[in-house]
Structure 1
């Protein structure tokens, strides 16, 4: 990194870098991953050589050095975003609130959109800024994973609602979020599961609006793609129409839906668009799940669990936190089955969020406190591990790897072996719980 001083074009730039270099070196040496910190700092110094004005930020605010090294040592994902746009440094230099309202997020995004900056460019910049803010707060342990996933979901909701507003639609169309988006459980770089529903017969305008919204989220700019969008949870999947009216949804769920589509429907909630349409959809959803949920076959759930582990998980490469045996998906399957099976007997079980579902099952007496505590603690454990792996661009957790060491340190274990033992114990207990509750 010292050699980078020579790449600065002015004596002033070299002098400023020399002033702050000792602080950078100290922070990097004491960081979670010194090698990653120095590698990213060396690349970043080369970028700053043509943007010397940013050096003043570090001179004026030395805490910014600690923040930057914190990110560079623990997240390749966030580091790349900062390197693409060094102006994001100004965000780290300001006070970062751990919680923002949906209204304030919408207002901020609308303020970014201007004649010189397209909607597509604006939403990508906004999303990256918010991910950097929330990522630093998480890595610095100012917020936990429970708060993180709620805030990231709120950011996505603001993006979708503002985009839809920019398309100026007032024709009864509602955007419904499924999956992690519906459950307010998004993490970094999550897909958005969306469907489109209207309260009248589907028109060409409904379809065009849905297509335009998807293009806004999917299209590439110099800042990449805002969100990957999956619309296959609509009736008939990719073979079905992109937009359907309420009657079509009711008929499909009454006559043709597969058991896993009722599980998916459990997570659904209105995200943007016509409020009345969204409310009617939720009434339909609750009615369908109350009537059909108890009829889901245990054998079907178990067969699907086994197929996911064998065909979709990356367990052969390491511990697949989400799809592996006893992983996050199996824990959520256990919870969702319990919610659906007992929906007729207990009011209020049809909530979207996993933690809310655990709470409702406990207060209704379906599961005991010990089981609920384990499910809640393990869910947060898995989501924390999953989030760190996302931040360092690792798809699975391998034993004796740098990723395992980083995760174990972040989560307060003495070493990676202790962490892996804890992970194995949780996976075994989740498998036992799956068999017990189903």
Structure 2
């Protein structure tokens, strides 16, 4: 058939439609006389078009047809036309593998190996392949027989008769048969050596794991022993070494038929520098004394495949216990992680984006993650001891060590990436893991994987998608903090047998081992997935609980949270998989009462502990938006304020958890955060939270009583620690209420409305509920408790102009708007500024009055029997001492030093230092004492669940406060001494700066 110039023939058009990229060349090939039956048969043309590369398939078919004798050629073509199975297999192979097309051209009769499969032959094993290699008597004939067997594996693969895992297993079985055949040839060539020794060939790597590639080094280890007592060991090892070397040459050397694959023995002890063959005892001596972590990881896939089967079994039996003890080695997990990073670092920059095996998101990421999990957890769970990556992944999921969804995603991604690797290697039977760059190669690769609409674009999309999944899950599993903690447990500690658990509990310092055992039994008994995950978590959690003053409380809290969330599918998965969630929860539950109490009222808040951003304080704007939205959804004021208080409870837990975890330290920051940073973070977070809650209560009351608008403008001014952003967890909110009748409004009605708002807000925020109350304290208002709760702005101005005392001006140093009408609040601050920052500073009489008030407060308000050296608020060098000293400086110099115009103690102290009003040393002493006293108060609240201004008297509570402050077990005395020392130094500064002594 000849095309008419300028016109396309129907065959040309059809070839183009079937995916031929060079239809003109294909048409010329089909015009060859011997191809006439193909050209005339539409079924054959359709089959060629279905191949991964139709042009390649046609060229291979032409070469195969031309290589046949005339009568054989007709048999081949008739069989192709009549037998669909052969047609699919042969054209599928020819369209996917140029190398196997070359083999068929050299050995034109080998196509007959694809004519028929019996059902029993669909998944052949080692014995079947051994029969296929049986006639091979030399390296050349072995290569031909090997390729013939490989042809049948490739045919099943490209036709979808086998999946990628089955194909990899068949390739490993073929490698096993080939090693046996090569050893038989070596023995035949050297019968004296064969008679002198026992030689076992141990497959490693992918061959050992039954997951071999089409072209890969076959990793092996050789073990040799004397054949009898009459043979000396040294002579037997030499004989075995000659046999092993000959075996390697048979497989690895290139002949006219090419090479089979390199046999690589570099995983042996000492690698290339070590002897090729060792005795079993020599192997064991090396592994017990000198082996590195990676060598045990490699032994995970060890499998005897050739030679003396008894010796091979003895080797595996001897080294297996060492493999499953490897995770107990010091720094085992970090070593494996570093090794993986080194592999990535050594990839050439030009290849990293195309590296399918070693690059980020590649096959090695899956394999390393699975192997690391196997080695850590397989010590006590034999179900995990598989050399196959996919089998081990299934076992890890079944045992609860990996989430089912994660395992399923990894399985799918791994299969896709391995299929890509197989098809890339199959093309030319070359060892490569690089994704090709050429359009034609990518098109063939995409079509071979079933991507037909736009093969190149679809392939890139699927590869990137699966690579992204692997990269994400590798980071999640491979760098899981829990993994290193499990690896560090002694072997007996990873299983919670009753006796071992009791001994461990006693050793860890649990005060009631019997009760703890009951908790452990309740959490981990049974065969459910939940119990399996708990058995993985609990040994590690027990150690973290023990790193606290009250391990028993931590374990009890964990049981309570687990019981509350027992049917929640994400809970245990979170602890197992997400960052430091498990350790964070252990720290929070065992550090005192406040955080666990908050958590148990809403256990779902445990999710915050697994989110990297979960412990970061939320901004006031964000909080206020959430609170106001919750208020807007409620049916009435009580429900609205209950919703606002629920948000406050959750956010108090977030703040407390962040404080505790920051105090204990993390893997990245073992020393914990700077104490001043922690104090500021708590103060700011609780202040913003209380401000948002008050704004929500205000909105709820106004909405229920008046609808959209209150008949008077209304604002809440923060005072004291509230205004200073220095609240602790249980602090009251000191406030002033100010209002101003709207233009043309009824003043009396406005006053009544404002009073009603105040009373109702205070009532609703203190209603009995499971949420912590928010107490609003207005005692810093003019006239104190004797004055009205709320005044107009004009009333405040009149009072301060005529009656204000110096302490009231001092109190205004902390005044800051918190909720309500912003413009009204800003005008109140304008009113307050001249009072708190007087233009002429303070006169001597005013200074004496402040000093007198301070001295009187120390005398009258310090609780009877309290130790003045340990009372954090009113004691020597405590909060009051530092704050009054700073406030005196603010009132004296605030008008001339803008930096002092702040409501925050530490900020004002730093500004005074920068202005030269006190020395840097004095500023540091006062700051350290203030931070320490604040942290003690915070610690007492966290530990006891109620506020306190002095150290607890109960020993366990005192120890818990010490742990919060960074003092380990047995160092409580140092903590108290350090507090006294810091506050004594601060008091000396206060005597000079405040009292003028």
TM-score (norm. length: structure 2): 0.40
- In the alignment, is residue 216 of structure 1 matched against residue 250 of structure 2? yes
Q: 2:475 aligns with which of 415, 419, 435?
A: 435
Task: Answer whether contact 1:315 1:324 (CA < 8 A) is retained.
Answer: no
CA deviation string 1:108-141 (max 9, x = no partner):
322x23xxxx332332122101111111121122
Are 1:313 and 1:324, in contact at CA under 8 Å, matched by a contact in 2? no
Kindly tell me the number of residue pairs found equivalent between the two proteins. Answer: 424
> Bigger CA drift: 346-355 or 265-274?
346-355
- Paired with 1:386 and 1:84, the residues of 2 have a C-alpha distance of 26
Q: Alignment partner of 1:392: what SS?
A: helix
Q: Is contact 1:233-1:261 (8 Å) kept?
A: yes
| Aligned with residue 133 of structure 2, among 92, 100, 109 | 109
Cα distance 1:124–1:41, how it changes in 2: closer, same or farther (>3 A)?
Answer: same
Q: CA contact under 8 A between 1:179 and 1:268: conserved in structure 2?
A: yes
Q: Does 1:346 align with 2:386?
A: no
Would you say 1:277 and 2:311 are equivalent positions? yes
Could you say if the C-alpha distance between residues 397 and 196 of structure 1 is closer, same or farther in structure 2, counting changes exceeding 3 Å? same
Which runs of structure 2 are paired with 1:116-135 in the superposition (5 Å)? Answer: 118-135=137-154
Contact 1:176 1:269 in 2 (8 A): yes
The aligned runs of 1:16-415 (5 Å cut-off) are 17-23=35-41, 25=45, 27-44=47-64, 46-48=66-68, 51-61=69-79, 62=81, 63=83, 64-95=86-117, 97-110=121-134, 112-113=135-136, 118-166=137-185, 167=187, 169=194, 171-199=197-225, 201-202=233-234, 203=236, 204-295=238-329, 297-312=332-347, 316=351, 318-393=353-428, 395-398=433-436, 401-413=439-451, 414-415=453-454
Report the secondary structure of 1:378's partner residue: helix
Question: 1:426: Cα distance to partner?
Answer: 2.5
Deviation sequence 1:210-246 (CA, Å, 0-9, x none)? 1221122123332122221111111111111010011
Return the alpha-carbon distance in structure 2 between the equivalents of residues 59 and 433 of structure 1.
Answer: 50
| 8 Å Cα contact 1:57/1:93 also seen in 2 | no
Name the SS of the counterpart of 2:220 in structure 1.
strand
Question: Does structure 2 retain, via aligned residues, the 8 Å contact 1:313–1:320?
Answer: no
- Please say if residues 99 and 151 of structure 1, whose CA atoms lie closer than 8 Å, have aligned partners that are also in contact: yes
Q: Which moved more, 1:414-423 or 1:272-281?
A: 414-423
Cα gap change, 1:347/1:37 in structure 2, threshold over 3 Å: closer, same or farther? closer
C-alpha displacement of 1:268: 0.9
Shift in alpha-carbon separation, 1:209–1:140, aligned structure 2, 3 A: same
Alignment correspondent of 2:584:
none
Q: 1:294·1:344 contact (CA, 8 Å) conserved in 2?
A: no
- Counterparts of 2:152 and 2:169, CA distance in 1: 14
Output the CA distance in 1 between the equivalents of 2:77 and 2:59. Answer: 22
Output the CA distance in 1 between the equivalents of 2:204 and 2:391.
Answer: 16
Moved segments of 4+, more than 6 Å:
1-7
Aligned-pair distance for 1:183? Answer: 0.6
- The CA deviation string for residues 254-295 of structure 1, in whole angstroms up to 9 with x for no partner, is 222222111111111101112221111112221111222343
5+ residue gaps, structure 2, are: 1-25, 189-193, 227-232, 480-997
- The 1:27–1:430 alpha-carbon spacing in structure 2 relative to 1, beyond 3 Å, is closer
Question: What is the alpha-carbon distance in structure 1 between the residues aligned to residue 440 and residue 108 of structure 2?
Answer: 27
Q: Distance in 1 between matches of 2:277 and 2:338?
A: 31
Distance 2:385 2:89 in 1: 41
CA separation in 1, counterparts of 2:436 and 2:38?
37
Aligned residues of 1:325 and 1:431 also touching (Cα < 8 A): yes
Name the CA distance, whole Å, in 2 between partners of 1:364 and 1:226: 39
**Offset at residue 41 of structure 1 (A):** 4.0
Once the two structures are overlaid, the 10-residue window that deviates more, 96-105 or 398-407, is 398-407
Conserved in 1, the CA contact under 8 Å of 2:410 and 2:473? no
Check whether the contact 1:293–1:343 (CA below 8 A) recurs between aligned residues: no
Structure-2 change in CA distance of 1:4 and 1:358 (3 Å): closer
Retained in 1: the 8 A contact 2:96–2:448? no
Look up the match of 1:420.
Answer: 460
How far apart, CA to CA, are the structure 1 residues paired with 2:438 and 2:144?
A: 36
SS of the residue 1:172 aligns to? strand
Residues 2, 370 of structure 1: alpha-carbon distance in 2 compared, 3 angstrom cutoff:
closer
**CA, structure 1 residues 47+219, in 2 after alignment: closer, same or farther (shift >3 Å)?**
same
Per the TM alignment, residue 421 of structure 1 is displaced from its structure 2 partner at its CA by: 2.7
Q: Unaligned stretches of 5+ in structure 1?
A: 8-13
Deviation, structure 1 residue 65: 5.0
Contact (CA 8 Å) 1:313, 1:323: kept in 2 or not? no
Match of residue 561 from structure 2: none
Contact 2:416–2:466 (CA under 8 A) maintained in structure 1? no
Superposition deviation, residue 2 in structure 1: 7.0
Bigger shift: residues 235-244 or 93-102:
93-102
Match of 2:682 in 1: none
